[in-house]
Amino acid sequence: MNTRTMGRNGAWLAAIALPLVTILLFGWIGGMSQPNSWISGLAVGCAEAAVLLFIGVVIGRGKAASSSTPFYIAAGIIIGIYTVSVVLEVILLGYLFKLPVSSYFMIHLITLSGFFVVLGLVSLAAKYAGAQERKENDHLAVKRETVAWIGAIRSKLSELPGENIPSLERQIAELEETLRYSDPISHPSLYEEEQLIQQKIALLEDQVTLIGEAEAEQRKELAEQTAPLIRDILRTVQDRNTVLLKAKAGST
């Protein structure tokens, strides 16, 4: 068990033990018979649990930067405001003004409910941002794999003899550059287009393999058949980029 895991588990264990001790301590200070003392202990215990649970989450998360970082900061601010509010309510309303039990309990309940609502909204926003980030990372990974795939095909082609091979290499290099600088974040309407590009690249790979396995007299013919396939893939990628640009412009 590493230090981060131990720190997280320690914070979560403290989030259970410390609030219980706080509740009992407030009850004992109030003579075990004062409802407001128990309410104060319960309110402070909830604030302690919120702080310690948040610390445990932050420790478990580590230092990795992501789009969820602003939401962690917002959650920390919300928990801080809630904690300060609870302390002020306990001091002012519980001990100085000594509100009736029902009113005092209701104020703490409203504060806790508001805290849960606001923190819940921030958590939902963080989950949405995290899902979007994972989606973008998936698209980026697919783009990197596709560019690497084209690069591997070009490398395989460069090892083959033939007078038409350098021309095919240049065309594949152009295709590789076009893919490299294409927007990786696709649109749902382009799913079939993306699949079509993958299928055509697979055909290109098979065609290059055939060129490598063919006899010298057949290699020139296969190379001539390959050039239109490369141009077709390049045209499909360019059409995809144009449609994607229009789709994103229409959704903004």
- The predicted-structure confidence for 99-157, as pLDDT tens digits, reads as follows 999 999 999 999 999 999 999 999 999 999 888 888 888 999 999 999 999 999 999 99
**pLDDT for the residue numbered 39:** 96
Residue 211 · residue 222 · CB < 8 Å:
yes
**pLDDT for the residue numbered 161:** 83
- Classify residue 151: in a domain, yes or no: no
- Classify residue 10: in a domain, yes or no: yes
Q: What is the mean pLDDT of residues 191-208?
A: 94
Domain count, the chain: 2
CA 236/CA 16 separation, integer angstroms: 59
CA 226/CA 166 separation, integer angstroms: 12
Q: What is the DSSP letter of 188?
A: G
**pLDDT for the residue numbered 65:** 54
Q: In the chain, helix, strand, coil percent, each to 5?
A: 85, 0, 15
Is the domain of 69 the same as that of 130? yes
Domain that holds residue 238: 160-251
**pLDDT for the residue numbered 66:** 65
**pLDDT for the residue numbered 1:** 55
pLDDT in tens, 58-105: 888 766 556 678 899 999 999 999 999 999 999 999 999 999 999 999
Dig out the tokens for 146 from the structure. Answer: 């596709």
Write down the residue that tokens 């091979």 correspond to: 165
pLDDT in tens, 152-188: 999 999 888 877 889 999 999 999 999 999 998 888 8
Is the domain of 237 the same as that of 124? no
pLDDT at 237 over 70: yes
**pLDDT for the residue numbered 251:** 62
- Classify residue 112: in a domain, yes or no: yes
- Which residue would you say has higher pLDDT here, 202 or 8? 202
**pLDDT for the residue numbered 60:** 80
Is the domain of 117 the same as that of 171? no
CA 172/CA 183 separation, integer angstroms: 19
**pLDDT for the residue numbered 234:** 96
Indicate the pTM of the whole model.
Answer: 0.77
- Classify residue 150: in a domain, yes or no: no
CA 161/CA 147 separation, integer angstroms: 24
